[in-house]
């Protein structure tokens, strides 16, 4: 973006007001180039009072729209949700079976193109650029996810065709395809449309400035990461991961920060938490169960950012720039000027941002670019994980490893709930589903323990893992599996303490 700088260090765009253009004609002009994706440029520029006012108005209006869409619960026809939830559910219901067929055809195209793009396309071609970074196993998972979805689609479309119960049953494909695959598809599309309102016009800069003194010392991340956590709690873990990926590619987060935020703050939404808590028979204790889980999530995050593997991730931005100690600690202090600094950054970001239509087009292009990979991997990983959990004793065997630890910590019914601990890696709802038929026979403390732990684990195959991998966040599958295990081990004693305090 080209702007003009006067000898008074006042920055004015070429398309600024006529009065400013006349003033510029009388001054010595030097053209400089500003990178709007450089997160620090707003601290290096100076704007006139008129430009500041225009930028602040744009920031307030667009950020208010984002807050209304992503964070404010509304009630429509007796149902309560955020506006974002109503919008993507509207499109999902509107397209219905036709939408499922569109997604299935998209998966089929992705599966065929992935094989060609990974193994046969020329270097530098669009297909090679798109699939060349995938591992050798990615085409296999694309094909597997496509097969699952084709079978499920045929099963629900044609009454004469009965797919294998293992794939289309309500505990496997019947959960993953309609609720998660189609849900994530519309979450990405609708989220991509509204994301610029949230990220590109200064709102996140204002929140980041206010939260920096808290987030940097506690979690070693920018204050802007508070947006990810809030979006996760009120919207969905997928949208939180997508926000993290977008900010990483905008050079707001380093590789270490992006990996930590995506794997630590992408918790379940309030709506889904209510479903999980009710399934565990803890509906009467929703407030203390949910909010204690949030506290535990942040306590675990404080530990996770300071130990391997996250602590060993490089402090390097997407652009390759190395983060300095000054970058990390420059604003991490409480002072009266923090509010003014936030307004200043918001106004400058709002004024220097690209036109809204262009930002939305860029965002939608990025969103549609990740959909084929995300939805296919969600189907492959989600259904496979649930099949293993439902039809094999694999997770039960692994769960026995946790029994002695649970017994030492005084967790009741350790044998009954131990298999639910590792199964959370497949899908976060599964731990509670495994005990759902026996909730009246399991101690309330044990039910709280497994419910809270499942919401704290954060990393699961059916959604967050594949979204992180498909959006090319700086984490690998084996790292995510290790992080799930480490998070679980760190969380278990903390959850046990809360269990004894609350129940």
Residues 225 and 333 in one domain: yes
Residue 78: both structure tokens together: 């007796």
Highest mean pLDDT among 123-127, 233-237, 327-331: 123-127
Residues 443 and 485 in one domain: yes
Give residue-wise pLDDT tens across range 193-244.
998 998 889 888 888 788 878 888 889 888 878 777 767 665 578 888 888 9
Residues 409 and 493 in one domain: yes
Last residue of a domain, one of 14, 33, 61: 61
Q: Is the pLDDT of residue 28 over 80?
A: no
Answer yes or no: are the C-beta atoms of 260 and 304 closer than 8 Å. Answer: yes
Residues 92 and 56 in one domain: no
Q: Please state the φ and ψ torsions of residue 296, each to the nearest 5 degrees.
A: -65, -40
Answer yes or no: are the C-beta atoms of 215 and 221 closer than 8 Å. Answer: yes
Q: With respect to residue 49, please indicate whether it lies within any of the assigned structural domains.
A: yes
* Structural domains of the chain, count: 2
Give residue-wise pLDDT tens across range 454-478.
999 989 887 788 889 888 899 999 9
Q: Please state the φ and ψ torsions of residue 489, each to the nearest 5 degrees.
A: -65, -35
**Confidence class of residue 332 from pLDDT cuts 50, 70 and 90?**
low
Residues 316 and 344 in one domain: yes
Residues 37 and 90 in one domain: no
Which of 298, 291, 258, 262 lies closest to 277 in space, CA to CA? 291
Say what the pTM is. Answer: 0.75
Structural domain harbouring 35: 2-61
Answer yes or no: are the C-beta atoms of 131 and 114 closer than 8 Å. Answer: yes
Give residue-wise pLDDT tens across range 69-87.
887 878 888 887 778 888 9
Containing H/E element for 2? strand 2-5
Q: Specify the pLDDT at position 115.
A: 94
CA separation for the pair 353, 132 (Å, rounded):
32
Q: Specify the pLDDT at position 333.
A: 64
Q: Specify the pLDDT at position 147.
A: 97
Residue 29: both structure tokens together: 């002009």
Q: Is the pLDDT of residue 5 over 70?
A: no
As to burial, measured by CB atoms within 10 angstroms (0-12 exposed, 13-18 middle, 19+ buried), residue 128 is middle
Residues 163 and 230 in one domain: yes
Residues 349 and 439 in one domain: yes
Residues 430 and 350 in one domain: yes
Q: With respect to residue 471, please indicate whether it lies within any of the assigned structural domains.
A: yes
Q: With respect to residue 68, please indicate whether it lies within any of the assigned structural domains.
A: no
Q: With respect to residue 66, please indicate whether it lies within any of the assigned structural domains.
A: no
Q: With respect to residue 484, please indicate whether it lies within any of the assigned structural domains.
A: yes
Q: With respect to residue 210, please indicate whether it lies within any of the assigned structural domains.
A: yes
Give residue-wise pLDDT tens across range 152-206.
999 999 999 999 999 999 888 998 899 888 988 998 899 889 989 988 898 888 8
- Judged by phi (left if over 0) then psi (alpha if -120 to 50, else beta), residue 35 lies in beta
Residues 263 and 162 in one domain: yes
Residue 260: both structure tokens together: 């930590």
Q: Is the pLDDT of residue 21 over 50?
A: no
Answer yes or no: are the C-beta atoms of 347 and 55 closer than 8 Å. Answer: yes
Residues 462 and 378 in one domain: yes
State how beta strands 30-33 and 79-82 pair: unpaired
Residues 219 and 311 in one domain: yes
Q: With respect to residue 34, please indicate whether it lies within any of the assigned structural domains.
A: yes
């Amino acid at each position: 973006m080209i702007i003009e700088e006067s000898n008074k260090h006042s920055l004015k765009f070429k398309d600024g007001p006529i009065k400013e253009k006349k003033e510029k004609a009388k001054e010595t002009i030097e053209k400089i180039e500003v990178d709007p994706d450089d997160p620090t440029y707003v601290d290096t520029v100076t704007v006139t009072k008129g430009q500041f006012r225009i930028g602040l108005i744009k920031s307030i209006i667009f950020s208010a729209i984002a807050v209304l869409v992503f964070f404010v619960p509304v009630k429509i026809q007796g149902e309560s949700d955020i506006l974002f939830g109503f919008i993507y559910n509207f499109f999902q219901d509107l397209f219905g079976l036709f939408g499922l067929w569109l997604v299935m055809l998209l998966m089929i195209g992705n599966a065929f193109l992935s094989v060609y793009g990974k193994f046969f396309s020329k270097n530098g071609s669009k297909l090679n650029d798109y699939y060349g970074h995938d591992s050798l196993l990615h085409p296999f998972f694309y094909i597997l996810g496509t097969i699952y979805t084709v079978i499920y689609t045929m099963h629900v479309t044609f009454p004469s065709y009965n797919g294998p119960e293992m794939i289309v049953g309500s505990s496997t494909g019947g959960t993953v395809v309609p609720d998660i695959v189609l849900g994530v598809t519309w979450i990405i599309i609708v989220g991509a449309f509204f994301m610029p309102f949230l990220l590109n016009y200064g709102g996140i800069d204002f929140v980041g400035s206010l939260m920096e003194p808290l987030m940097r010392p506690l979690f070693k991340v920018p204050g802007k990461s508070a947006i990810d956590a809030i979006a996760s709690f009120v919207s969905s873990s997928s949208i939180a991961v997508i926000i993290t990926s977008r900010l990483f590619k905008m050079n707001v987060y380093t590789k270490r920060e992006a990996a930590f935020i995506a794997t630590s703050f992408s918790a379940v939404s309030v709506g889904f938490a209510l479903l999980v808590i009710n399934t565990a028979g803890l509906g009467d204790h929703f407030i203390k169960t949910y909010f204690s889980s949030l506290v535990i999530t942040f306590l675990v995050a404080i530990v996770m950012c300071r130990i391997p593997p996250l602590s060993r991730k490089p402090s390097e931005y997407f652009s390759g720039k190395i983060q300095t100690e000054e970058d990390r600690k420059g604003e991490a202090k409480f002072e009266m000027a923090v509010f003014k600094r936030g307004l200043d950054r918001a106004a400058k970001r709002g004024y220097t941002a690209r036109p809204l239509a262009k930002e939305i087009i860029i965002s939608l292009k990025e969103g549609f670019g990740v959909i084929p990979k995300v939805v296919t991997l969600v189907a492959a990983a989600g259904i496979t994980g649930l099949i293993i959990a439902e039809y094999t004793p694999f997770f039960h065997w692994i769960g026995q490893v946790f029994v002695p630890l649970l017994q030492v910590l005084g967790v009741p019914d350790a044998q009954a709930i131990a298999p639910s601990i590792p199964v959370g890696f497949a899908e976060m709802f599964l731990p509670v589903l495994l005990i759902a038929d026996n909730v009246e026979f399991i101690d309330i403390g044990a039910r709280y323990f497994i419910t809270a732990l499942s919401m704290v684990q954060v990393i699961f195959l059916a959604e967050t893992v594949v979204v992180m991998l498909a959006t090319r966040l700086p984490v690998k599958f084996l790292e995510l599996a290790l992080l799930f295990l480490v998070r679980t081990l760190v969380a278990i004693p903390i959850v046990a303490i809360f269990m004894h305090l609350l129940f």
